[in-house]
Amino acid sequence: MKMRCFVFIAIFLSEIFFSTTVLTFEYNLGRYAYAHIFTSDSIASFISMANEAEVELMLAERNYPSNVTLAMDHIDRASQFIDNAYYLDDDITDDYDFITRYNQGINNSNSTILGVALANIVDDILKEYGRALDIQFDLTNMTNMNMTTVTGNYSSSSISIMNSEGINNREEASDEKTSIINVADYQSAQAMSDQLIQLFEEKIKMHALTSNSSTGPVSQLEKQLADLKNMIDNKTSAMDVMVLVHGHLHPNLQLAYGLKLA
């Protein structure tokens, strides 16, 4: 992936669209506390944030000038990702440092760090997709799922959704509409799923663990990343997407890259 000068573009576009605002730092190592809780670090988080910032900048440029409102939404998100990424390392003072830090991380990190970066982006895709469909529960929260069988295809018939009070919401979840409510969120989920495949194929796939000489998890992961993209493109139900990610994609990430549960 060719890293662009994120900050220059973000500042340039922000001057066009809106006045400077104070950005709140929202990152912490527990932001995926209800998903598979993989042990993370600042390098994995930096890699994922840099990729997500690039996606949002691309979407801002794509939407401007035909839809200024959407472009503003995406540049705001890009600015937050960049700001949060800068916060992770006090040694980053300009665009050159930012890009150097990314290249070092993506090229020199071990397979586990790269696998966690991939998992971070997957979880953010779930969040974006949930907001796009205006789903009233957290798609990254595994406690919302009562999995009985997740082998075979990604069928929503194998799970039920539990709300925060433990009440079964199977009927409500099964009948949920897949019409897009929040367009900016949907654009982000789509574009991030594309970026995820590119990042995996170009930078991360080659680092999969091979201690047991098994290529099964990597092959399955490659297929499941494509399935995730297709599901989002086709506006598949949130339940089926959750089954794919929590029941199949995350476990194969864990096997392929030696991810440790925190």
**For range 221-239, the mean pLDDT:** 96
- Tell me which residue has tokens 């953010």: 124
In the chain, % of residues over pLDDT 90: 55
Amino acid symbol at 96: Y
Per the prediction, the chain carries an average pLDDT of 78
Residues 102 and 191 in one domain: no
Residues 88 and 217 in one domain: no
Residues 218 and 103 in one domain: no
Residue 3 has pLDDT above 80, yes or no: no
Domain span including residue 189: 110-262
Burial of residue 138 (CB within 10 Å: 0-12, 13-18, 19+) is middle
pLDDT score, position 145: 75
Residues 86 and 119 in one domain: no
- Tell me which residue has tokens 């397979």: 111
Establish if 167 belongs to a structural domain.
yes
**For range 107-126, the mean pLDDT:** 94
65 upstream amide cis, omega within 30 of 0:
yes
Establish if 233 belongs to a structural domain.
yes
Task: Residue 253: name the closest of 113, 119, 109 by CA.
Answer: 119
Task: Answer with the residue of higher pLDDT: 50 or 40.
Answer: 50
Residues 247 and 129 in one domain: yes
Establish if 27 belongs to a structural domain.
no
Residues 124 and 199 in one domain: yes
Residues 94 and 127 in one domain: no
Beta pairing, strands 159-161 & 145-147? antiparallel
- Tell me which residue has tokens 């798609």: 139
Residues 64 and 139 in one domain: no
Residues 123 and 244 in one domain: yes
Establish if 29 belongs to a structural domain.
no
Residues 138 and 231 in one domain: yes
Eight-state DSSP code of residue 261 = B
At 72-102, the pLDDT tens digits run 999 999 999 999 998 888 888 888 999 999 9
Residue 161 has pLDDT above 60, yes or no: no
* Count of C-beta atoms within a 10 Å radius of residue 231: 20
Residues 114 and 87 in one domain: no
Which of 65, 93, 109 is where one domain is finished? Answer: 109
Establish if 223 belongs to a structural domain.
yes
At 42-78, the pLDDT tens digits run 999 999 999 999 999 999 999 999 999 999 999 999 9
pLDDT band at 189; cut points 50, 70, 90: very high
**For range 17-40, the mean pLDDT:** 41
Sign for the pseudo-dihedral over CA of 140, 183, 227, 51 = negative
Which of 89, 109, 129 is where one domain is finished? Answer: 109
* Count of C-beta atoms within a 10 Å radius of residue 108: 9
- State the DSSP string of 49-106: HHHHHHHHHHHHHHHTTT-HHHHHHHHHHHHHHHHHHHHT-TT--SHHHHHHHHHHHH
Establish if 30 belongs to a structural domain.
no
pLDDT score, position 119: 94
φ and ψ of 160, to 5 deg? -125, 155
Residues 164 and 85 in one domain: no
Residue 9 belongs to what H/E stretch? Answer: helix 6-17
What is the Cα–Cα distance from 144 to 90, expressed in whole angstroms?
38
Which of 56, 91, 109 is where one domain is finished? Answer: 109
pLDDT score, position 208: 80
Tokens representing 34 are 């209800």
pLDDT score, position 172: 40
- Total number of domains in the chain: 2
Degrees to nearest 5, angle at CA 85 with 79 and 88: 145
